[in-house]
Chains A and B, each alone.
Chain A
Amino acid sequence: MAHRDSAVRDAGVEADRALLEAIARRSTESLGALYDRHAAVVYGLAKRIVRRAEDAEEVVQDVFAQVWRDAPRYDPSRASVAGWLVMLARTRAIDRLRATRARPDLDAGADERSAGVPAHEPTPEQQALSAEQVRSIQEALVTLPDTQRALVDLAYFEGLTQGEIAGRTGVPLGTVKTRLRAAMAALRGVMSP
């Protein structure tokens, strides 16, 4: 089962890399094929973050427009395509969330972020995750203590900084940091090294 799981994953990784190389050479068919493979994941994540379907549709368009634009610069040996798409989806969704959200309760740290400064775009992970690894994370998220999972949700799905989380929840900043660190350590623990 694990062998088949990794064989399926590797076939998918190869397909994605081939598609991205073709997209870099300006193949619209390959962009369509990449959309067919991953739009549901991008849309699902975007909708989870921005809530409104129309905004989620805009995020999908943002992501694939950026893929088309950046494909010539993308190095398939350095990052996984699925990870890149998930990272783009989250970043652009948070951008849209900040743009459309009214923010009456700003603290000093939040000013810059809500003033239209785009979310920071980190590098995606190098090797693609298998379906089994994603399931492990899914399960680990469910079993996290509520106090920890709530903070992960606020950081990942609402794009809040630790300072903003403290302001929103009333939990002291030091406690927010400790809980986030514990949550990430627990999630990291279920991933094979």
Chain B
Amino acid sequence: MTTHDEVSASLGAYALDALDPGERAAVEAHLASCLTCARELAALRRVTSGIGLAVAADQPPASLRARTLQRALSGADPRPSSAPTHTPVLPWLLAAASMVIAVGLGAYAVSLRTELVSVRELAEVATARVETLRAELLTLRQNAAQLQRAVSVVSAPDLRQVRVSGLGPATGAGGLAFWSQANGLVFNARELPPLEPGRAYELWVIPPGASPVSAGMLAVSTDGTASHWTALPADLVLDTVAVSIEQAGGSPTGAPEGPIVMAGKIAG
């Protein structure tokens, strides 16, 4: 199979990985220099991707998550990658290995180099583990502090609730604010639409008859939820909570400049 028409006719099977090795090699040789076939193949790959995505998703057992992450981090993988890695190398180990080989100790040098390579791999795994543990510890510490602040708000005797509804572009969003004059404000929102780059959601508290006061920028997760705590001046009394879209980093004027997309008043 060498002609363009023959290759073109077999691109569908190639995308399905249904060609035998001989035909596959011929297609790949042709693809290297035929833009038409390359474009057609790209379209057929979208089809095979669609076939895979069209299969119903199925939630695996909850225990699989930990097992999967553990296996990935342990570095064990029965199918080695073909491309060279560029994970950091301990230079002194490789220099030492080259020196030993240069001295020409023959078989001993070869076995030593092999040992040094596996030591290098172990060191890389260990370094990666330390980094991930550090990151996990930091996250746990942050989560614990955040939880403590939220608990102090929602268990306060002067707790007030504010139901906050989405408006305009955020009509589907919803939120709940918990305010304790002594302990601050907790705000939880869901179904916040993603924003274009350079824009962010800013939270406002509004005392009755007065100007809005910024309560900070919301950090929105990829699933559209946000959870926020802020301290507030102990003498601040609010009756309205609102969210607006501002430039990243917040409104430069200290007042909402962008559209208000969520608002709610204290009940009663």
Contacts and interface: CB of A to CB of B under 8 A. Distances in A.
Interface of A: 7, 11-12, 14-15, 19, 26-29, 31-33, 35-37, 39-41, 43-45, 47-48, 56-57, 60-62, 64-70, 72-73, 80, 82-83, 86-87, 89-92, 94-95, 109, 112, 118-120, 122-127, 129, 133-134, 136-138, 141, 152, 155-156, 159-163, 165, 177, 180-181, 183-185, 187-188, 191, 193
Nearest to A109: B20
Contacts of A138: 50, 54
B56 interface: yes
A141 to B, nearest CB: 6
A120 B57 CA distance: 24
B188 interface: no
A142 B193 CA distance: 34
Interface in B50-85: 50-61, 64-65, 67-69, 71-73, 75-79, 81, 83, 85
A134 B50 contact: yes
Contacts of B16: 152, 155-156, 180, 184
Given A28-B135, A70-B81, A89 B52 contact: yes
Interface in B2-38: 9-21, 24
B186 to A, nearest CB: 23
Given A87-B49, A129-B46, 15 more contacts: A26-B128, A29-B136, A39-B60, A43-B60, A44-B57, A44-B58, A61-B67, A66-B79, A73-B81, A122-B14, A122-B15, A137-B53, A162-B20, A163-B20, A165-B18
Nearest to B67: A61
B45 interface: yes
13 contacts: A28-B136, A31-B73, A35-B68, A68-B72, A87-B52, A91-B17, A122-B14, A125-B46, A134-B54, A152-B16, A159-B17, A185-B12, A187-B50
A125 to B, nearest CB: 4
A73 B83 contact: yes
B233 to A, nearest CB: 34
A40 B57 CA distance: 5
B54 A57 contact: no
Nearest to B58: A44
A151 B48 CA distance: 14
A43 B58 contact: yes
A185 B43 CA distance: 10
B57 A41 contact: yes
A141 B135 contact: no
A48 B55 contact: yes
B222 interface: yes
Contact of A27 (B9, B51, B135): B135
Contacts of B114: none
Looking at chain B's contact residues, is the secondary structure mostly helix, strand, loop, or mixed?
Answer: helix
Contacts of A129: 46, 49-50, 53
A125 B42 CA distance: 6
B15 A184 contact: yes
B86 interface: yes
B13 A181 contact: yes
B110 interface: no
B144 interface: no
A122 B18 CA distance: 12
Given A137-B54, A184-B12, A32 B65 contact: yes
Interface string B185-197: 0000000011000
A35 B24 contact: no
Contacts of A184: 11-13, 15-16, 44, 47
A118 B78 CA distance: 11
Contacts of B56: 44
B51 A57 contact: no
Contacts of A188: 12, 43-44, 47
Interface in B131-165: 131-132, 135-136, 139
B111 interface: no
A124 B45 CA distance: 7
Contacts of A124: 45, 49
A64 B18 contact: no
A122 B49 CA distance: 11
